[in-house]
Amino acid sequence: MIHIGIADDHTLFRKGMQELLSDVTDFDVVLEADNGKTLLEQMPEKLPQIILLDLQMPEMDGEATLRELSKHYPDTQVIILSMIDDASAIFQLIKLGAKSFLPKNIDLDELEQAIRTVHASGAYFNDKITRAITQGLAAPDRQHFQLDDTVKLNENELEILRLISEGKTNAEIGEGVYLSPRTIEGYRKRLMEKTQTKNSAELIAWAFRNGILP
């Protein structure tokens, strides 16, 4: 069972999302809130594994809430739901710890896929997120990034990294390269150890910075 929280100040949207997700096999909406403050107050008791987080909310907005969640609940994975279309803003949210960024008008099938992928592998990247990361790393202030010549990846690791960047789960990657999901998880952990990154989002950002991903 995947336990889900929803934070959005629009009651109709929040209730509608709750009803839709509750009908999905092995999804359980355990928390709902109309702002970040209320969400954080419920976290110690509810502890959802996935949070669908709006950005524009009263009292505490989505970005401030994301910062607190990343700090105090690092095992809870956050998916941003918003209609903003600003690559730099999306890039900043990914840097702050968001595991995916999706439009509010997303269809249920893709949302379900995103939730399952984030739960299984730690991130879900669509074309919009990939472009945002690429543009963010190409921005004028990217000089603080240093290329890492000390990390050596073999051919298999490079292929796994490419497939991770496509948002594939361990099972999907394993099926494509004829390895077990457990073996792929081992590759994922070794890649993060080698690159000193904490999650798939940071790993992919590292790969873009170092020219490994185009």
CB atoms near residue 121 (< 10 Å)? 23
**Domain assignment of residue 103, yes or no:** yes
pLDDT(151) > 90: no
Share of the chain above pLDDT 70, in %: 89
Q: Is the dihedral of CA 207, 197, 120, 94 positive or negative?
A: negative
- Residue 144 has a pLDDT of 41
Quick one: pLDDT at residue 203? 84
Domain boundary among 75, 105, 136: 136
The pLDDT value given to residue 55 = 94
Confidence of residue 30 (pLDDT cuts 50, 70, 90): very high
Report field, pTM of the whole predicted structure over 0.85:
no
Q: How far, in Å, CA of 88 to CA of 92, rounded?
A: 6
Tell me which of 105, 136, 167 is where a domain ends: 136
Clarify whether residues 87 and 156 are in a common domain: no
Which amino acid makes up residue 202? E
- For 183, the domain range is 145-209
Residue 48: the pLDDT is 97
Q: Are residues 43 and 112 in the same domain?
A: yes
Query: Is the CB of residue 61 less than 8 Å from the CB of residue 90?
Result: no
pLDDT at 136: 62
Q: Which residue has the higher pLDDT, 92 or 34?
A: 34
Q: Residue 18: is its pLDDT beyond 80?
A: yes
Note whether 162 and 87 are same-domain residues. no
Could you tell me if 118 and 186 lie in one domain? no
Phi, psi dihedrals of residue 123, rounded to the nearest 5° = -165, 155
Highest mean pLDDT among 90-99, 132-141, 200-209: 90-99
User: Do 120 and 65 fall within a single domain?
Assistant: yes
Q: How many CA atoms lie within 13 A of 11 on its CB side?
A: 0
Q: Are residues 155 and 72 in the same domain?
A: no
Residue 214 domain-assigned (yes or no): no
Residue 135 has pLDDT above 70, yes or no: no
Answer whether residue 163 shows pLDDT above 80. Answer: yes
Q: Which residues contact 136 (CB under 8 A, 6 or more apart)?
A: 87, 88, 90, 91, 92, 95, 142
Q: How many domains does the chain have?
A: 2
Question: Hey, what amino acid is at 97?
Answer: G
DSSP string, the chain: -EEEEEE-S-HHHHHHHHHHHHTSTTEEEEEEESSHHHHHHHHHHH--SEEEE-S--SSS-HHHHHHHHHHH-TTSEEEEE-----HHHHHHHHHHT-SEEE-TT--HHHHHHHHHHHHHHS----HHHHHHHHHHHHSGGGGG----TT----HHHHHHHHHHHTT--HHHHHHHHT--HHHHHHHHHHHHHHHT-SSHHHHHHHHHHTTS--
Domain boundary among the residues 136, 157, 177 is at: 136
- Pair 156, 126 in one domain: no
